[in-house]
Structure 1
């Protein structure tokens, strides 16, 4: 069994299509197909269900692809470790981040980039917590920042980052006086823009509002907090966003930041990675910079 065969097999499992998998591996489709057939012969089990086209993995293939991803991840980690002895850290670190945490991720990655200038970072910041966990387990991400509440983090190392708090932001063009706090019933008549349903931040808003006996019906939904704040800044909208996204009180802003009366919206945000020992060298280096671990 060769690493190349495992790479082709993992690519096919990911792409669900022979031609796309071959293109992703920069080989011809016949070469990829033959390599996978050779892997099947060596293992003595069928891995792929074939018809006129790719029809999925066999039960044996579904089990093997998990091991194949882990083997390739460990190989990459070993190669990075060896390269570090000669040139310092190189390679690419893949980080998945929930939208609400994109303003704080810079505090983690900036010092890492300064310490390891040869490493490239790829940050995906439009993922849900469950998506990050799933991609970590498939070794498609190296680490993530996510909400831990209601998420199965078994098999992962979790390092708490902060407890998130939400606030109401009201455009300066709206009528409400500049109060310091508002109750949930008081905000139902505001022209609200919120994250779309299904995103964790929006789901928590709906849950807490329901617990207070109110329903908040936004006139506009978006999939990015930056979009919500841009609308609020124009003066005619209000929204509920993580406090980390707004400036401190006393600074000049085109909107007013208002505390929400109890119960407060909150969520535990953590840095996570797959629980393997040793940890991948790039992830270990990020933890050393961000958390002072050795």
Structure 2
């Protein structure tokens, strides 16, 4: 039955019979027959069929919820038993919002030092797609905003509080300032993340509240592309404080605090809400808590200077 539930999950991900079959490593007739057998077993129609995939029936949507739970638990059981024999091993797939990517090594590097038999795949993703991918068992964890938009059914570990900075050329607009307001930020040529990114939605709301109409002259889903454009001196951008601190800024680029208001958001780790967790995920949660403690200790030490 598990293989048929896997077929259903692949169909939910790909929304196409052929691509779902390829994802599962079977032929399309095999996948279609497996889904039909599941329908016969449950006595209901799960998929709206035509010349192509048209979606799930209400019964199919409910079955999909159970499939995620059952397949997730089965995978967790196998990993848990395997860990009894070999320790923490396996493959962790972590999706990260673009602005948090520079911080990812602070989580994965100490983790791998403790568990050298675990390998990682780090993916850049929107916050919305992180939630979808967790539901569909496509990833094991995500690093995203925790306090701005709904997260869904996850377990969350706050790691750091994120403030915002104007990245601009030292000799460019506002480049000689110690701090700037959101209203002032709205008056300079900006390059920002694309609208599907939560960071963009946060920035746009703050600019609107300050009386500015967001009108970036360049958009990208890559923070690397935005940073490269800022370095030319022709653009400015709004980035998290940690971005400049982690990536390092060239001499001609400044990171200036944005105030009025001075806004912070919490970024952290999200994992599927499951008890017990897989050993690899449990270790990741523990590492995230340790990282949060280190960041807080550093912040407290700086405040005493």
- Do residues 90 (structure 1) and 89 (structure 2) align? yes
Distance 1:4 1:102 in 2: 34
- Do residues 100 (structure 1) and 91 (structure 2) align? no
Change (3 A) 1:41 1:242: same
**Offset, 1:79:** 0.9
Task: Report if aligned partners of 2:17, 2:28 keep a CA contact under 8 Å in 1.
Answer: yes
Counterparts of 1:168-179 in structure 2 under 5 Å? 168-174=166-172, 176=174, 178-179=176-177
Task: Report if aligned partners of 1:182, 1:261 keep a CA contact under 8 Å in 2.
Answer: yes
Which of the numbers 253, 256, 263 marks the counterpart of 1:255? Answer: 253
Counterparts of 1:1-150 in structure 2 under 5 Å? 2-127=1-126, 129-150=127-148
**Offset, 1:259:** 1.9
Which residue number corresponds to residue 165 of structure 1?
A: 163
Task: Report if aligned partners of 2:161, 2:265 keep a CA contact under 8 Å in 1.
Answer: yes
Task: Report if aligned partners of 1:191, 1:238 keep a CA contact under 8 Å in 2.
Answer: yes
Distance 1:162 1:8 in 2: 38
Q: In the TM superposition, what whole-angstrom CA distance separates every residue of 1:174-209 from its partner, at most 9, and x where no partner exists?
A: 265622122344444433222233422222222222
Distance 2:16 2:189 in 1: 46
Distance 1:278 1:103 in 2: 30
TM-score w.r.t. structure 1 length? 0.89
Distance 2:173 2:65 in 1: 56
5+ residue gaps, structure 1, are none
Say which SS state the counterpart of residue 83 (structure 2) adopts: helix
Q: In the TM superposition, what whole-angstrom CA distance separates every residue of 1:118-152 from its partner, at most 9, and x where no partner exists?
A: 2221222132x232223222322221111123322
**Offset, 1:263:** 0.5
Change (3 A) 1:188 1:85: closer
Aligned length: 290
Taking only aligned residues, the RMSD between alpha carbons, in angstroms, comes to: 2.4
Counterparts of 1:226-265 in structure 2 under 5 Å? 226-247=224-245, 253-265=251-263
**Offset, 1:243:** 1.0
Q: In the TM superposition, what whole-angstrom CA distance separates every residue of 1:245-277 from its partner, at most 9, and x where no partner exists?
A: 1138x9753212222232023212121122211
Which of the numbers 266, 272, 284 marks the counterpart of 1:268? Answer: 266
Say which SS state the counterpart of residue 121 (structure 1) adopts: strand
**Offset, 1:173:** 4.5
Say which SS state the counterpart of residue 48 (structure 2) adopts: strand
TM-score w.r.t. structure 2 length? 0.86
Which residue number corresponds to residue 289 of structure 2?
A: 291
Task: Report if aligned partners of 1:145, 1:270 keep a CA contact under 8 Å in 2.
Answer: yes
Say which SS state the counterpart of residue 66 (structure 1) adopts: helix
Distance 1:29 1:223 in 2: 34
